[in-house]
A and B are shown apart, each in its own frame.
Chain A
């Protein structure tokens, strides 16, 4: 009951938070020089034509008024048109956002497996070989740019070895796309029984997931290692040891104590990678949401950018709510 009330309260807060996020991003984007009317009509357009289009698009109105109009539309579920794709932003994002989500979710799952595993193993044996390897790995993953790693992987596994498919999208272009249900190609192809698409999607996912997974495992590894170290050095773990509890129980208790920190890092990485995966998306021709937003910024196409901001803000708010609920579940002291 108490939890439900808490969730409701949190959801109520989402409204002012979203307003604030929209407001700030709207004005920041307006600060970027560049006139969409000029770009849409091309370099040979007359001044009159430009002015006419500006008036049609409402660009001649004061900025605050433009914001109010935009806000009104958003509340009715209309995120505007993208002039580049000439399609509603909402439908563009409905296909592109799941692509990014699928990539990022799988990558982070891989990152969690690597980071958590190495982190725990290296914390349990502070003088072991795993610790040394993990330390080098943490250093490397922080220093190597993800797009570079992606290019190396493509060179090795596609160009040299030919194990991976061409880095052109989410599945082979030779296949007929499956019916869109959830937006995730893996899930949709399984539901509709399209195993050819499923296998193709899997092989296309391998390299980008490996890239993002390896890079993001670094921070998770570091966070796991340091919070496990702290937990293992804590008084209550020393006490558990001196009560003769077996090693696996010690490990479990320490992990339990370290978990809130690790979850925080994972949630931050998740929200961050939605946008930060853009370079990897470009390298693999992924057609994800990040790519879409960046194209929007470069071409003064305002609506896709704002649409992306709204989508990722909602996602972040959901992620943070889940994290708070996990804290609730993990630590009795927060249940007051």
Chain B
């Protein structure tokens, strides 16, 4: 196979301390007269230096919530009830707090999904980059401006000097996305999180932006977390894949191993969405419903083609299966089964 060129470096890096370490992150939303809605349940995640990790989940999986939890901006009254977050070994809780030891944009930077809505409409592109650079790096206005122009050039924006004075509404979606990438990388962060950053782009532009992101990360030894609902992106741009379902990690594996043999039935369901044979897809997807009122212990049991009685009564734990793989399933699909 020709696509295993990255394996060696990944093993070498495994020794280094993780850039980001999430341990048992749990976020709950209190509900009136009911038990809390646990939107993220004990999520563990480690990202090592120079590594690109793909986090895949569909609507409601909690992938954006995880980003927001890391960035210290949990929306809508949710509470970070337990778990620890560490950046290069330094624990942190509330990133945007001015006293936090780990600083957003400088240490952990975010690339957002809808740049035309996230850029301030009344500030020029240049002002927005300069603001971030000046605040975090303490440069003078002139130095910050020079650095901002360099960043715009680095993300392949044509004529960066004049683009500095452009307003966000004058940019196309692809251009705005590049500006956001430039902001994210302007202070040499140790980790870049991309939250569905390319889903709103046209396919040809999406490819350009993804390639750019990969180059920038590789060139600067930055680690990256690519959060997406499109599993195809992770196949080409990530070293490791983590699958999130209803707030839980259900599978984690090195990329090539994952795509050769996904273990968790949900991972297979995700792949099936791209498959061409409707009959096979239906076999995985058409699951007889559970009896009314049953609340299965395994969160995926109601959609699982491999469901057994045990799945309804006993919640599976996230099991280590060696070679850097973990799976949360009583009956995973393993090679030869």
Contacts and interface: CB of A to CB of B under 8 A. Distances in A.
A330 B122 contact: yes
Nearest to A247: B98
Contacts of B167: 332-333
Contact of A244 (B95, B120, B121, B169): B95
A206 to B, nearest CB: 38
Nearest to A239: B118
State the majority secondary structure of interface residues on B: loop
Interface string B95-138: 11010000111100110101001111111100000011001100
B73 interface: yes
A253 B183 CA distance: 17
Contacts of B71: 242
Given A239-B112, A331-B122, A245 B117 contact: no
Contact of A241 (B96, B106, B121): B96
B123 A244 contact: no
Contact of A239 (B95, B98, B119): B119
Interface string B278-319: 000000000000000000000000000000000000000000
A235 interface: yes
Contacts of A256: 122
A333 B121 contact: yes
Contacts of A249: 131, 135
Given A243-B105, A244-B103, A247-B98, A331 B114 contact: no
Nearest to B104: A244
Contacts of B183: 243
Contact of A333 (B114, B135, B169): B169
A220 to B, nearest CB: 21
B131 A244 contact: no
Nearest to B110: A242
A247 B97 CA distance: 9
Contacts of B109: 243
A243 B122 contact: no
Interface in B135-160: 135-136
A33 interface: no
A330 B121 CA distance: 10
Contacts of A238: 73, 118
State the majority secondary structure of interface residues on A: helix
B95 A236 contact: no
A257 interface: yes
A240 interface: yes
A77 interface: no
B117 A236 contact: yes
A246 interface: yes
B121 A245 contact: no
Interface string A250-278: 00010011000000000000000000000
Nearest to B167: A332
Given A332-B122, A332-B167, A332-B169, A243 B114 contact: no
Nearest to A332: B167
A333 B167 CA distance: 8
Nearest to A241: B96
A243 B169 contact: no
Interface in B161-217: 167, 169, 183
Given A243-B105, A243-B183, A253-B123, A236 B118 contact: yes
Nearest to B136: A244
Contacts of B104: 241-244
B22 to A, nearest CB: 17
Interface string A15-54: 0000000000000000000000000000000000000000
Nearest to A254: B120
A335 to B, nearest CB: 9
A236 B119 contact: yes
Given A239-B112, A332-B169, A333-B167, A244 B118 contact: no
Nearest to B184: A243
Contacts of B124: 332
B135 A246 contact: yes
A239 B113 CA distance: 11
- With most chain A CB atoms within 10 A of its CB, the pick from B106, B119, B121 is B121
A241 B75 CA distance: 13
Interface in B64-116: 71-73, 95-96, 98, 103-106, 109-110, 112, 114
A244 B103 CA distance: 6
A132 B71 CA distance: 29
Contact of B96 (A236, A244, A253, A332): A244
Contacts of B118: 235-236, 238-239
Contacts of A330: 122
A10 to B, nearest CB: 23
B121 A332 contact: yes
13 contacts: A235-B112, A236-B120, A237-B120, A242-B105, A244-B132, A244-B135, A245-B131, A245-B132, A247-B98, A257-B121, A330-B122, A333-B121, A333-B169
- 4 tightest A-B CB contacts, nearest first: A244-B104, A239-B118, A243-B105, A332-B167
Interface of A: 235-247, 249, 253, 256-257, 330-333
